[in-house]
Chain A
Amino acid sequence: MEGINQFISFTGFANLTIGHLVMIVIGLFFIYLAIKKEYEPLLLVPIGFGILMGNIPFIENVGMQIGIYEQGSVLNYLYFGVMKGIYPPLIFLGIGAMTDFSALISNPKLMLLGAAAQLGIFLTFMAALALGFTVNQAAAIGIIGGADGPTAIFLSSKLAPELLGAIAIAAYSYMALVPVIQPPIIKLLTSKEERLIKMKPPKAVTKLEKMSFPVVGLLLTTFISPGALPLLGMLFFGNLLKESGVTKRLADTAAKPLIDIVTILLGLTVGASTQATTFLTPESILIFVLGAISFMVATAGGVLFAKFMNLFLKGDNKLNPMIGAAGVSAVPDSARVVHTLGQIEDPTNYLLMHAMAPNVAGVIGSAVAAGILMGFLLKVI
């Protein structure tokens, strides 16, 4: 009888709390969004399922070693790659090997839109400071506005590991919700005439330019912001593998199996890290709110800067200001959203390639911003 009682006390039913139920519902909602609405299924399915796994109630610290926060558990080992910032550079390697920078190289001024959209990071940094977060925590929260999950995880693992779960979930959730968050802001800040602007087709880019870009980009950005070296180094390395043309096998591995494996591990463990007992705190809710604001400000920053640039551009050099929204580094979701909005206004307007330029610039910009914040705050420490 004692054995049965002990067994019952170990079951999930005996240890269930409201927090677990809430998180399980959130996990199911993520899976629903991924499968039914097809919002970033590659991210939301692993994260959603991870949330379910992380919120199966059990008695902690009795030697079962099953929880993600229990030393020696399998999930804990897998989570090590998140905690120590190992997965984000590997993701960046894959992104580099998949990304075609030619849209950006053919129109380098669009790089400024990627910089402008980082406004969200710095404004949210100040908002988080005002709300009483420490300076390191505020920096980690602010980076959500970069809309770059790997960068957010990388920075928070260095500056505020205690907030890692909430920041990672917020960053990836907003990345997945790009099609929901961005269109209203874009429409609010642009007129119909502006949304109808057709940009001139990008010019052809030579192989030499494509090969030089990762080398020049690495040297310049990491000399300015060495903190971003693990991210930008891997991004540009992956891109050189792709563009050099002599390392096709390596590029293929980085762009397909490697990034897929890391995405599975990252998504699942980030989801599982939302264990209700450690995740459901007032800070987590604040982080979600700040993350949303950060993302909206970043989108607005990009759009408004594109409008500002148009003041100085003439004729067919004018930009469709919607592409400014793609300055957040959710690749390629933001670019796709901008393209879709353009198509709704005018089915003959193809903005995808134009929007990819600020989109990939945003990846570089948010990584540079993360490096700068690390540089500043390591000095403060």
Chain B
Amino acid sequence: MFDKFSFSNIWENDGIFISVVGYLIVFAALLILSIIITYFQKILISRQRRKLKSVGHRAADAENLEISGEISAAISMAIYLHFQENHDIENTVLTIKRVQRTYSPWSSKLYGLREYPKR
């Protein structure tokens, strides 16, 4: 199985060259992508700052305009609760609906099963 083993195979097939250059290209590709994303974010933030400044918002001078994911999640939760929770404006008119429950000392369940529900 190892009869063909030889370090010279690496050299003869440009193994070191392909590996080093290939690895560097992978690194370079992802590094450039990360730099572009970083600068894109900075451009977006400066645009946001300009927009805030134009309407005279005091947040325009804030050192950091970025919002952490946790704050964003908390805001989303608050908005969700605001729109879902209706207890503050709950209808105060209560209605009571009478329901007939036939009783049997033997087994009320039996009665319930044998009779059609009465509305």
B69 and A201: CB pair below 8 A?
A: yes
B29 and A368: CB pair below 8 A?
A: yes
B window 1-55: CB within 8 A of A = 1-7, 9-10, 13-16, 18-23, 25-38, 40-41, 44
B7 and A208: CB pair below 8 A?
A: no
B22 and A373: CB pair below 8 A?
A: yes
How big is the B interface, by class? 35 or more
Q: How far is the CA of A105 from the CA of B36 in the complex (A)?
A: 10
Number of chain A residues whose Cβ lies closer than 8 Å to a Cβ of chain B: 52
A209 and B31: CB pair below 8 A?
A: no
Q: Does B71 contact A (CB under 8 A)?
A: yes
Q: Does B100 contact A (CB under 8 A)?
A: no
- Contact partners of B27 in chain A: CB under 8 A: 112, 115-116
Q: Does A132 contact B (CB under 8 A)?
A: yes
Q: Does A361 contact B (CB under 8 A)?
A: yes
Residue from B3, B19, B66 in contact with A126 in the complex, judged by beta carbons closer than 8 Å: B19
A106 and B33: CB pair below 8 A?
A: no
Q: Which residue of A lies closest to B19 (CB)?
A: A122
Q: Does B90 contact A (CB under 8 A)?
A: no
B19 and A123: CB pair below 8 A?
A: yes
Shortest A210–chain B CB gap in Å is 11
B9 and A130: CB pair below 8 A?
A: yes
B68 and A204: CB pair below 8 A?
A: yes
A130 and B7: CB pair below 8 A?
A: yes
Q: Which residue of A lies closest to B72 (CB)?
A: A204
A130 and B30: CB pair below 8 A?
A: no
A224 and B28: CB pair below 8 A?
A: yes
A365 and B25: CB pair below 8 A?
A: no
A interface majority secondary structure: helix
Q: Does B115 contact A (CB under 8 A)?
A: no
Shortest A62–chain B CB gap in Å is 33
B32 and A220: CB pair below 8 A?
A: yes
- Contact partners of B31 in chain A: CB under 8 A: 111-112, 115
Of A139, A224, A286, most buried by chain B (CB within 10 Å of CB) is A224
A window 232-269: CB within 8 A of B = none
Q: Does B67 contact A (CB under 8 A)?
A: yes
Q: How far is the CA of A19 from the CA of B116 in the complex (A)?
A: 68
Q: Does B63 contact A (CB under 8 A)?
A: no
A window 268-316: CB within 8 A of B = 282, 285-286
Q: Which residue of A lies closest to B27 (CB)?
A: A115
7 A-B pairs closest in CB distance: A132-B4, A108-B34, A204-B72, A122-B19, A111-B34, A115-B30, A108-B37
Chain B interface residues toward A at CB < 8 A: 1-7, 9-10, 13-16, 18-23, 25-38, 40-41, 44, 66-72
Known: A125-B18, A129-B13. 20 other contacts (CB 8 A): A108-B41, A109-B38, A111-B37, A114-B30, A125-B19, A129-B15, A130-B5, A131-B4, A135-B14, A138-B15, A202-B69, A203-B67, A208-B44, A220-B29, A220-B33, A282-B1, A285-B1, A361-B30, A369-B22, A376-B21
